[in-house]
Amino acid sequence: MRNNFLLLCGLLLSGMAVAQVATNDPAKQAVNTSIDAQYSSLTELSDKIWSFEEVAFQEAQSAQALMDYAEAQGFKITKNIGDMPTAFTAEFGSGKPVIGILGEFDALPGLSQNTVPYKDPLHEGGAGHGCGHNLFGVASLGAATAIKQMIERGELKGTIRFYGTPAEEKFFGKLWMIRAGAFEDVDVVMDWHPSGETKVGMQTGLALVDFMVEYYGQAAHAAGDPWNGRDASDALELYASGINYYREHVKPTVRIHYDIQKAGEVVNVVPDYARMWTRVRDGKRDGLVEVWKQVEKIAEGAALMANVDYKITLISGVHEVLVNETGAKAMQKNLEALGAISYTEEEQDYAKKIQEATNKPQVGIESVISPLEKTAEFPMGGSTDVGDVSYVVPVIRLRATTAPKGTPWHSWAVVACGGMSIGHKGMRHASKILAMTMVDLYKDPKLVSDIQAEFKEDIGDYEYKGILPDGPPPVGVKK
Ligand SMILES: [Zn+2]
């Protein structure tokens, strides 16, 4: 009680709005104190990455900023993992358990935005952190630092390893980190994601595959001698039509998206080249493969009809997330002990303005934590390369509120919130829950072995193989 009281006084004195610190564990109190002490540096670091607004595989300054912070804290840095200049690890300690924690930091193109609650690009046409990854990497590194300090003082034993994981929004950098063996000796991996709510991650998301379809025809004058032309764009249109007819006959969990990247240059030339980025998703990898193969057949059929040549190139793909319930339950206890994030009137005002600007009910930002959910039978939502990590090592996941409920994700509104106090508070909260849960993992070997036992049972005899082509990662590809 006395420790709680002192900690609470400390927090009040430093002006921090924390709802509740109902933990009697001195180690958990210590990591929370460390994160509060780091808060201004973490905020500065997150704002820096927010302003760098670097997209997939171009996150040189963001990765460097995280590495600089880690190095200053005494972590040992390993760079260029899997031949990706922006992939790195920061490690401290020795021996078992080895606990990993993931940190992403890439932005999304076209979402540049100021920290105001209405659309106002910071740089016209620039990128922005519409998924909150400026907060993601920093919160994880803050938690890793808190644990590192405990290991250094001899209060916890083992190894802490922060994974700087690039290009989550495109290409899926973790796949090449896995292939490089970066997760081979880890016992448990921690992960979180910015969100419109605070809850432990129990949902699987969708498996996906990305591939490029290219058509090669023959150019001709569009009016002079069109009969000599073989039109690559015709094939592309037929391919898209085929996909759209096929949509009616796939399961509700399937999603098919495409991005027409090239379809001729001018109207008076029969185009000899066309290109479309295609993405197929489904709830599970097995279902995905079936749809993927059918879409490839449609691509081939379109080439036949248009009398052009074609090429299909695999880009990469991800597994759905394997949920670890034992780990999730342990995290839930810490979430409940820490309580919800509290907000000022100004922040509630800001949240309502965001909701107004994005046509959502103006209910403000939720100051609650969610109970542990059941894993949905029919998964919804996006996909993540954390799915692949969860197929090679058990992963415990969290979502923490960094934007008002209902905020459209991958939008300017998330960028706005992620650069101001609503985002910062979510980052700090995430950092604490991750660190508190890691304390459990270091102190309780049975918890680690139970988590691993559940993982082994779920995996069964499935042999993980990443959906990615041979050869180096596409670090030079911009589009
Ligand atoms: Zn994200």
Question: What is the per-residue DSSP string for 397-434?
Answer: EEEEESS-TTPPSSSHHHHHHHTSHHHHHHHHHHHHHH
What distance in Å separates the CA atoms of residue 213 and residue 230, rounded to the nearest whole number?
17
- DSSP H or E stretch at residue 36: helix 26-52
Number of Cβ within 10 Å of residue 303's Cβ equals: 25
CB of 179 within 8 A of CB of 358?
Answer: no
**Closest to 27 (Cα-Cα) out of 168, 125, 121, 151:** 151
What distance in Å separates the CA atoms of residue 203 and residue 114, rounded to the nearest whole number?
32
Measured in Å, residue 354 CA sits from the centre of ligand 1 at 20
Give, as one character, the DSSP assignment of residue 118: S
Do 221 and 193 have their domain in common?
no
**Closest to 120 (Cα-Cα) out of 363, 416, 395, 402:** 416
CATH code assigned at 135 = 3.40.630.10
What distance in Å separates the CA atoms of residue 148 and residue 442, rounded to the nearest whole number?
12
Domain end point (choices 318, 344, 366): 318
Measured in Å, residue 147 CA sits from the centre of ligand 1 at 24
- Is the peptide bond prior to 194 cis by the omega test (within 30 degrees of 0)? no
Measured in Å, residue 129 CA sits from the centre of ligand 1 at 9
Measured in Å, residue 193 CA sits from the centre of ligand 1 at 6
Measured in Å, residue 443 CA sits from the centre of ligand 1 at 30
Do 237 and 330 have their domain in common?
no
Tokens read off for 290: 């079936």
Is 97 within a domain? yes
Do 341 and 215 have their domain in common?
no
Q: For position 380, what pLDDT does the model report?
A: 83
CB of 160 within 8 A of CB of 92?
Answer: yes
What distance in Å separates the CA atoms of residue 9 and residue 29, rounded to the nearest whole number?
13
Measured in Å, residue 350 CA sits from the centre of ligand 1 at 22
pTM score, whole prediction:
0.92
CATH code assigned at 244 = 3.30.70.360
Is 81 within a domain? yes
Q: For position 478, what pLDDT does the model report?
A: 58
What distance in Å separates the CA atoms of residue 318 and residue 175, rounded to the nearest whole number?
8
Tokens read off for 130: 């519409």
Measured in Å, residue 376 CA sits from the centre of ligand 1 at 20
Q: What residue numbers bound the domain in which 63 lies? A: 4-204+320-459
Do 83 and 197 have their domain in common?
yes
Measured in Å, residue 409 CA sits from the centre of ligand 1 at 9
Q: For position 238, what pLDDT does the model report?
A: 98
419 φ/ψ angles, rounded to the nearest 5 degrees = -105, 5
Residue type, 196: G
Q: CA torsion, points 125, 130, 133, 138, in degrees to nearest 10?
A: 90
Residue type, 117: P
Instruction: Concatenate the DSSP letters of all residues of 347-383 into one string.
Output: HHHHHHHHHHHTT----------PPPPPPPSS--S--
Tokens read off for 276: 């479309």
What distance in Å separates the CA atoms of residue 271 and residue 170, rounded to the nearest whole number?
28
**Closest to 422 (Cα-Cα) out of 403, 449, 407, 438:** 403
Do 245 and 360 have their domain in common?
no
Degrees to nearest 5, angle at CA 83 with 78 and 86:
60
Measured in Å, residue 454 CA sits from the centre of ligand 1 at 26
Token pair 């405990």 is found at 150
Do 92 and 221 have their domain in common?
no
Measured in Å, residue 339 CA sits from the centre of ligand 1 at 24
Measured in Å, residue 95 CA sits from the centre of ligand 1 at 31
Q: For position 8, what pLDDT does the model report?
A: 44
Measured in Å, residue 169 CA sits from the centre of ligand 1 at 7
Note residues around ion ligand 1 (Cβ under 5 angstroms).
Answer: 131
Do 313 and 325 have their domain in common?
no
Q: CA torsion, points 425, 19, 331, 29, in degrees to nearest 10?
A: 90
Measured in Å, residue 268 CA sits from the centre of ligand 1 at 42
What distance in Å separates the CA atoms of residue 390 and residue 165, rounded to the nearest whole number?
14
Measured in Å, residue 261 CA sits from the centre of ligand 1 at 23
Measured in Å, residue 192 CA sits from the centre of ligand 1 at 9
Is 468 within a domain? no
Measured in Å, residue 227 CA sits from the centre of ligand 1 at 48
Measured in Å, residue 206 CA sits from the centre of ligand 1 at 14
Measured in Å, residue 191 CA sits from the centre of ligand 1 at 11
Do 127 and 86 have their domain in common?
yes
Measured in Å, residue 74 CA sits from the centre of ligand 1 at 28
Q: For position 22, what pLDDT does the model report?
A: 61
Total domains, the chain: 2
Is 477 within a domain? no
Degrees to nearest 5, angle at CA 347 with 346 and 353:
90
CB of 202 within 8 A of CB of 374?
Answer: yes
Measured in Å, residue 221 CA sits from the centre of ligand 1 at 46
Do 350 and 435 have their domain in common?
yes
In sequence order, which ranges of 191-284 are alpha helices (DSSP H)?
A: 232-246
Q: For position 239, what pLDDT does the model report?
A: 98
Measured in Å, residue 75 CA sits from the centre of ligand 1 at 25
Tokens read off for 425: 């508070």
Is 437 within a domain? yes
* pLDDT per residue rounded down to tens, the chain (479 residues): 344 444 444 444 333 334 445 678 999 999 999 999 999 999 999 999 999 999 999 999 999 999 999 999 999 999 999 999 999 999 999 999 999 999 999 999 999 999 999 999 999 999 999 999 999 999 999 999 999 999 999 999 999 999 999 999 999 999 999 999 999 999 999 999 999 999 999 999 999 999 999 999 999 999 999 999 999 999 999 999 999 999 999 999 999 999 999 999 999 999 999 999 999 999 999 899 999 999 999 999 999 999 999 999 999 999 999 999 999 999 999 999 999 999 999 999 999 999 999 999 999 999 999 999 999 988 888 999 999 999 999 999 999 999 999 999 999 999 999 999 999 999 999 999 999 999 999 999 999 999 999 999 999 999 999 999 999 999 987 55
Do 313 and 342 have their domain in common?
no
Do 340 and 274 have their domain in common?
no
Q: For position 378, what pLDDT does the model report?
A: 86
Token pair 């590194």 is found at 141
Return the bridge partners of 190, or none.
Answer: 101, 396
Tokens read off for 217: 């025809």
Measured in Å, residue 308 CA sits from the centre of ligand 1 at 38
Q: Which runs of E-coded beta strand occur in 264-339? A: 269-270, 273-282, 309-318
157 φ/ψ angles, rounded to the nearest 5 degrees = -120, 135
Measured in Å, residue 105 CA sits from the centre of ligand 1 at 9
Is 19 within a domain? yes
Do 196 and 330 have their domain in common?
yes
Measured in Å, residue 204 CA sits from the centre of ligand 1 at 14
Is 476 within a domain? no
